[in-house]
């Protein structure tokens, strides 16, 4: 006899691209058989982080994930104090200090809900020393604490971590399904969805990208900068690099240096710290606040790096379209909103030039990942792209 489908909480109902995952988590929620630690495994774009947040809603919501209450809304907006989404704060992975601060936080009582959830992304970057610091906490967390680890494959994650979690495999989502997911999430048209996926990478991030006017402005500025390179001198290129960096800063909530309104420029670290410890000021020691401040600084740095990478992804997408046109490939380009500019660049360059321009973007991404000053990385990239795209027609 076939097993009956479980009643699906509204928070999990959105996982229709992953029906097996949806039903598995729904059964665990409705039957009150939640594990203390999950490992969500699958390719980028398969909705793992989206599913982790949906499960977190079910855990902290007094109605098992109604998707409408204040708790659920806060989780969805990533502002719930008892649901932490944690990412590697170093180019090489999770820091041991970062993990130790997490362990200290686990020991604290929930602020709003009756439970706490920790979502760790990219756990393939949880190196041995950091993983060892986390092992016992994952294996035997305090009552009411749930860990959701997100990674690609079992092979990329330390076996000691894998053995302490319940594995949840996600199937690969096709590009067409990813596009439709973004369309449904934010009411985008297919062209907007394709562009957002090219820039942000996953449906969840693409939806967030389309919902952010400042992030969309970074993409527009990068596209305009590249399409105007042929007419810019070196000084123009340096100014464009500076403008791009400041646009990214604005998109992640950091004031551009030298910009002041009335009074002093707001300190983004101070603002984020106040939000993090709100309601706990009287219970935290000065040493604990100092440690949280260090963590906030690292998180802001990671957000800035992510913003820079997103800008570079926009450049890569545009240049891939140029390469597609140079090669005469019949497949439609991604950046349909600037199709004329793509065609114009393709007519004035060659396949080799487009390839070298893409290599310049890849090098810039590598530089930023290794903590090279973003403005310097952008300056070098733009100058190299300008030179690469200027290859003479005779070299085609």
For residues 312 and 305, the model is more confident at 312
Q: In the structure encoding, which two tokens stand for residue 298, read together?
A: 């690292």
166-169 sheet: strands from edge to edge: 83-86, 116-120, 145-151, 37-41, 166-169
- pLDDT of 269 strictly over 80: no
Lowest-confidence range among 160-164, 252-256, 322-326? 252-256
Q: Could you tell me the residue ranges of all domains in the chain?
A: 10-173, 176-210, 212-395
DSSP notation for 133-170: HHHHHHHSPPTTEEEEEEES-GGGS-HHHHTTSEEEE-
Contact 102, 131 (CB under 8 A): no
Range 10-173 has CATH code 3.40.50.300: yes
φ, ψ dihedrals at 65, nearest 5° = 90, 55
- Cβ burial 325-346 (10 Å sphere, 16+ → b, else e): bbeeeeeebbbeebeebbeebb
What's the pLDDT band for 258 if we cut at 50, 70, 90? very low
pLDDT at 369: 82
Separation CA 67–CA 76 (nearest Å):
9
Please state the separation of Cα 270 from the chain's center in Å: 23
- The pLDDT tens digits for 86-111 are 888 776 788 888 898 899 889 988 88
Lowest-confidence range among 30-39, 127-136, 237-246, 283-292? 283-292
Q: Is 34 left (phi over 0), alpha (psi -120 to 50) or beta?
A: beta
């Amino acid at each position: 006899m076939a097993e009956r489908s479980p009643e699906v909480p509204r928070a999990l109902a959105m996982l229709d691209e992953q029906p097996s995952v949806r039903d598995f988590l729904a059964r665990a929620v409705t039957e009150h058989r939640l594990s203390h630690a999950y490992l969500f495994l699958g390719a980028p774009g398969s909705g793992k982080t989206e599913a982790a947040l949906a499960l977190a809603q079910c855990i902290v919501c007094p109605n098992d994930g109604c998707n409408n209450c204040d708790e659920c809304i806060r989780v969805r907006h990533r502002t719930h104090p008892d649901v932490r989404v944690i990412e590697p704060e170093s180019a090489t992975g999770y820091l041991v200090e970062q993990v130790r601060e997490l362990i200290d936080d686990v020991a604290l009582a929930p602020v709003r809900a009756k439970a706490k959830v920790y979502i760790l992304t990219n756990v393939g970057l949880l190196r041995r020393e950091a993983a060892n610091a986390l092992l016992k906490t994952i294996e035997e967390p305090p009552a009411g604490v749930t860990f959701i680890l997100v990674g690609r494959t079992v092979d990329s994650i330390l076996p000691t971590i894998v053995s302490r979690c319940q594995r949840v495999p996600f199937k690969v989502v096709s590009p067409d399904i990813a596009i439709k997911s973004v369309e449904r999430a934010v009411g985008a048209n297919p062209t907007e969805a394709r562009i957002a996926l090219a820039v942000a990478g996953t449906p969840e991030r693409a939806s967030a990208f389309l919902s952010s006017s400042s992030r969309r402005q970074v993409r527009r500025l990068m596209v305009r900068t590249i399409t105007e390179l042929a007419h810019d001198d070196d000084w123009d290129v340096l100014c464009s690099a500076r403008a791009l960096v400041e646009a990214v800063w604005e998109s992640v909530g950091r004031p551009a240096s030298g910009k002041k309104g009335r009074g002093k420029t707001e300190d983004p670290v101070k603002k984020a710290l106040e939000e993090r410890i709100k309601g706990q000021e009287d219970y935290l020691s000065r040493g604990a606040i100092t440690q949280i401040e260090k963590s906030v600084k690292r998180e802001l740095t990671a957000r800035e790096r992510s913003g820079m990478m997103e800008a570079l992804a926009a450049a890569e997408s545009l240049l891939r379209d140029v390469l597609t046109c140079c090669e005469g490939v019949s497949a439609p380009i991604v950046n349909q909103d600037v199709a004329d500019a793509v065609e114009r660049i393709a007519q004035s360059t060659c396949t080799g030039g487009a390839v070298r321009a893409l290599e310049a973007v890849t090098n810039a991404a590598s530089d930023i990942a290794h903590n090279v000053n973003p403005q310097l990385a952008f300056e070098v990239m733009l100058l190299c792209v300008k030179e690469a795209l200027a290859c003479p027609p005779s070299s085609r």
